[in-house]
Amino acid sequence: MSENINIAPEQAAPEKRKRIFSGVQPSGILTLGNYLGAIKNWVALQNDYDCLYCVVDLHAITVRQVPTDLRRRTLEGLALYVACGIDPEKSIMFVQSHVPSHAELAWVLGCYTGFGELSRMTQFKDKSQKHSDNINAGLFTYPVLMAADILLYQADLVPVGLDQKQHIEITRDVAQRFNGIYGDVFTIPEPYIPKTGMKINSLTDPTKKMSKSDPNPASFVAIIESRDETIRKIKRAVTDSDAVVRYAEGKDGINNLMTIYSSFTGKSFDEIEKEFDGKGYGDFKAAVGEVCADGLENVRAEYARIIKDKAYLEGIMKDGAEKALYLSKKTLSKVYKKVGFYAK
């Protein structure tokens, strides 16, 4: 007697979701630049990609850190990811030093990276000027560790601000070089850089990037500062004497504020120029301060709630580190085999 067999209709193999990796250094209080250039996009991307978001503490010690501050900021960094909307059910969040594969792959990749190519990195040149008393080897090999972060997880896309573009390019070069010798080991990642917000500039010197390590707090908007503080800082932002709200060369301060306004409202520069036609900088700055404070309000409220729950945050980092370790080990063991390390 023949049995009835239910044959499932043929299904197309589900398309593999693309992978994303990105991170922020816990080297200062996170700024509007970090939010608009990177984290805001991380949130938007997590529904369509498998995402890993890391607090990159190994990178942070390339510049001298106060240990208690670094520890605190690491937890705060993770809390901020959650407060900004990264969902631990959807994305993996973890602390870089909890997953030893990063340092391990960095060593291997360092042997496939040229001294010359590292010497050309603008971040290395900038930071060695800023910290001339501590030009350490870690500062020099920083991009190798960053390449390891990205390549370990076979990331397809890396959402970052403009300043990190060169580091993604060297990551691609190293991955291509390695693949050229050993076959297809690494996915070649692409940068994902937002059109608006890729470079938010300092409020006190708008020719320079807004930076969390700037010693002058008036130069940046911190994601978690008070509403009044944000409005006050933007009111005092350096502009020019032209008194016309217009996006133009040489108007770095106004261009920067227009970028911030556009990032929060979605309005184009043309629309912003029309909106403030005939109005002075005072009105414009007040409006920028308002949309910025409004745009960050939910994040601030969420952060104030979440930061109190250390057990919850530590649970997220522990769970994230386990998942990241599992994924990273797959790549690392492949790499070890390819280069000829004896299996244990």
Q: Which residues bind ligand TYM (CB under 6 A)?
A: 21-25, 33-34, 37-38, 56, 59, 146, 149-150, 158, 160-161, 163-164, 167, 198-200, 209-210
Indicate the Cα dihedral angle 130, 134, 137, 140, nearest 10°: 0
C-alpha–C-alpha distance, residues 237 and 254, integer Å: 9
| DSSP SS3 for 220 | coil
Least distance from ligand TYM to the Cβ atom of residue 26, Å = 8
Instruction: Find the catalytic residue in 40, 199, 212, 285.
Output: 212
Nearer to ligand TYM, 151 or 313 (CB): 151
Least distance from ligand TYM to the Cβ atom of residue 122, Å = 12
Concerning whether 344 is annotated as a catalytic residue, the answer is no
Instruction: Find the catalytic residue in 127, 199, 233, 251.
Output: 127
Largest CA distance in the chain: 94
Instruction: Find the catalytic residue in 40, 209, 251, 285.
Output: 209
Nearer to ligand TYM, 29 or 335 (CB): 29
Indicate the Cα dihedral angle 14, 183, 190, 30, nearest 10°: 100
Nearer to ligand TYM, 123 or 279 (CB): 123
Least distance from ligand TYM to the Cβ atom of residue 14, Å = 27
Joined together, the tokens standing for residue 206 give 């708008």
Least distance from ligand TYM to the Cβ atom of residue 211, Å = 6
Concerning whether 212 is annotated as a catalytic residue, the answer is yes
The closest of 189, 171, 138, 185 to 25, measured between CA atoms, is: 138
Pairing of strands 19-24, 50-55: parallel
* 8 Å CB contact between 93 and 317: yes
Please tell me what DSSP assigns to residue 38: I
In the complex, which residue's CB is closest to ligand TYM? 37
Phi (first) and psi of residue 240, to 5 degrees: -135, -175
Q: Burial of 216 by CB count in 10 Å (0-12 exposed, 13-18 middle, 19+ buried)?
A: exposed
Least distance from ligand TYM to the Cβ atom of residue 198, Å = 6
Q: In what order do the strands lie in the sheet with 19-24?
A: 92-95, 50-55, 19-24, 157-159, 190-192
Nearer to ligand TYM, 153 or 276 (CB): 153
Least distance from ligand TYM to the Cβ atom of residue 260, Å = 10
Least distance from ligand TYM to the Cβ atom of residue 328, Å = 13
Concerning whether 251 is annotated as a catalytic residue, the answer is no
Nearer to ligand TYM, 183 or 215 (CB): 215
C-alpha–C-alpha distance, residues 53 and 23, integer Å: 6
Identify the helix (H) or strand (E) that includes residue 23: strand 19-24
Nearer to ligand TYM, 209 or 251 (CB): 209
Nearer to ligand TYM, 124 or 281 (CB): 124
Q: Which residues contact 272 (CB under 8 A, 6 or more apart)?
A: 245, 247, 258, 261, 262
Q: Burial of 157 by CB count in 10 Å (0-12 exposed, 13-18 middle, 19+ buried)?
A: buried
Residues known to be catalytic: 127, 209, 212
